Amino acid sequence: MKPEDWRRIGLRDNEYEMILNILGREPNQVELGMFGVMWSEHCSYKHSKAVLKTFPTTGPRVLQGPGENAGIVAIGDGLAVCFKIESHNHPSAIEPYQGAATGVGGIIRDIFTMGARPIAILDSLRFGTLDDPRVRYLFSGVVGGIAGYGNCIGIPTVGGEVYFDPCYQGNPLVCVMCVGLLETEKIRLGKATGAGNLVILAGARTGRDGMHGASFASEELSEASAEKRPAVQVGDPFMEKLLLEACLELIDGGDLVGIQDLGAAGLTCAVAEMASRGGTGMEIELAKVPCREEGMTPYEIMIAESQERMLMVVTPEKEAKVHAVFQRWGLTSTTIGRVTDDGLLRIKMHGQVVAEVPARSLAEDSPVYYPASSKPAYLERTAELNLAEIPQPADFNTVLLQLLATPNLASKEGVWQQYDYMVRTSTVVRPGSDAAVLRIRGTQKALALTADCNARYVYLDPYVGGQIAVAEAARNVVCSGGEPLAITDCLCFGNPEKPEIYWQFRQAVEGISAACRSLETPVTGGNVSFYNETKGEAIYPTPVIGMVGLLSDVTKACTLSFKAEDDLIVLLGESFEELGGSEYLAVIHGRVQGKPPALDLAKEKALHRVVLAAIGQGLVRSAHDLAEGGLAVAVAECLFEHGIGARLTLSTNGLRPDSLLFGESQSRVVLSLPAESLPALRELAVREGVPLTEIGRAGGDRFQIYVDGVPRVDLPVTELKAAWQEAIQC
| Total Cβ atoms within 10 A of residue 70 | 26
CA 548, 553, 554, 560 torsion-angle sign: negative
For 334, the 3-state DSSP assignment is strand
The residue (of 479 and 692) whose beta carbon lies closer to Mg ion is: 479
The only residue of 68, 95, 123, 219 in contact with ligand ADP, by rule CB under 6 A: 123
Q: Which range in 146-154, 378-386, 578-586, 675-683 contacts other proteins by CB under 8 A?
A: 146-154
**What is the distance between the alpha carbons of residues 50 and 37, in angstroms, rounded to a whole number?**
20
Contacts with 50 (C-beta within 8 Å, 6 or more apart), sequence order: 368, 369, 370
Which helix or strand (DSSP H or E) is residue 80 part of?
A: strand 79-87
Helix spans in 480-600 (H): 499-519, 583-589
The only residue of 220, 285, 434, 658 in contact with Mg ion, by rule CB under 5 A: 434
Select the binding partner of residue 232 from Mg ion, ligand ADP, other proteins, none (C-beta < 5 to 8 A, by kind). other proteins
| 170-229 positions binding other proteins, by CB under 8 A | 204, 207-209, 229
434 in contact with ligand ADP (CB under 6 A): yes
Name the DSSP letter for residue 251: H
| 571-630 positions binding ligand ADP, by CB under 6 A | 627
Nearest to 129 by CA among 96, 94, 170, 164: 164
The residue (of 296 and 680) whose beta carbon lies closer to other proteins is: 296
Select the binding partner of residue 378 from Mg ion, other proteins, ligand ADP, none (C-beta < 5 to 8 A, by kind). none
Question: How far are the Cα atoms of 272, 482, 608 from residue 549, in angstroms, in the given order?
Answer: 34, 5, 12
The only residue of 44, 476, 480, 666 in contact with Mg ion, by rule CB under 5 A: 476
Q: What angle do CA 555, 559, 563 make, to 5 degrees?
A: 95
The only residue of 300, 308, 452, 500 in contact with ligand ADP, by rule CB under 6 A: 452
Quote the strand ranges of 1-94, DSSP E: 62-64, 71-76, 79-87
The residue (of 107 and 147) whose beta carbon lies closer to other proteins is: 147
CB burial of residue 40 (10 Å; 0-12, 13-18, 19+): buried
The only residue of 164, 416, 463, 493 in contact with ligand ADP, by rule CB under 6 A: 416
Least distance in Å: CB of 225 to ligand ADP?
25
Select the binding partner of residue 237 from other proteins, ligand ADP, Mg ion, none (C-beta < 5 to 8 A, by kind). other proteins
Name the DSSP letter for residue 291: B
**What is the distance between the alpha carbons of residues 662 and 633, in angstroms, rounded to a whole number?**
7
**What is the distance between the alpha carbons of residues 186 and 341, in angstroms, rounded to a whole number?**
26
239 in contact with other proteins (CB under 8 A): yes
Least distance in Å: CB of 401 to other proteins?
24
725 in contact with other proteins (CB under 8 A): no
For 671, the 3-state DSSP assignment is strand
Name the DSSP letter for residue 393: P
134 in contact with other proteins (CB under 8 A): no
Least distance in Å: CB of 162 to ligand ADP?
5
161 in contact with ligand ADP (CB under 6 A): yes
Q: Which of 88, 90, 323, 608 is catalytic?
A: 88
Is the separation of the CB atoms in 193 and 257 below 8 Å? yes
The only residue of 10, 150, 281, 431 in contact with ligand ADP, by rule CB under 6 A: 431
555 in contact with other proteins (CB under 8 A): yes
Select the binding partner of residue 40 from Mg ion, ligand ADP, other proteins, none (C-beta < 5 to 8 A, by kind). none
Is the separation of the CB atoms in 70 and 82 below 8 Å? yes
**What is the distance between the alpha carbons of residues 170 and 496, in angstroms, rounded to a whole number?**
18
Name the DSSP letter for residue 263: B
The site that binds other proteins (CB under 8 A) totals a number of residues, namely 50
Q: Which residues pair with 436 in a beta bridge?
A: 449
Per the annotation, the verdict on 323 as an active-site residue is no
Least distance in Å: CB of 624 to Mg ion?
6
The only residue of 64, 197, 306, 476 in contact with ligand ADP, by rule CB under 6 A: 476
Least distance in Å: CB of 209 to other proteins?
6
625 in contact with Mg ion (CB under 5 A): yes
669 in contact with other proteins (CB under 8 A): no
Least distance in Å: CB of 229 to other proteins?
5
The residue (of 284 and 570) whose beta carbon lies closer to Mg ion is: 570
Region of 643 (left: φ > 0; alpha: ψ -120 to 50; beta: rest) is left
**What is the distance between the alpha carbons of residues 575 and 578, in angstroms, rounded to a whole number?**
8
The Cα diameter of the chain in Å comes to 87
**What is the distance between the alpha carbons of residues 458 and 456, in angstroms, rounded to a whole number?**
5
Per the annotation, the verdict on 88 as an active-site residue is yes
Sites of contact with Mg ion (CB under 5 A): 434, 476, 625
Sites of contact with other proteins (CB under 8 A): 94-95, 98, 144, 147-148, 151-154, 204, 207-209, 229-230, 232-239, 241-242, 292-293, 306-307, 329-330, 416-425, 427-428, 430, 439, 441, 554-555, 730
Sites of contact with ligand ADP (CB under 6 A): 123, 125, 157, 159-162, 412, 415-416, 431-434, 436, 452, 476, 627
Active site residues: 42, 88
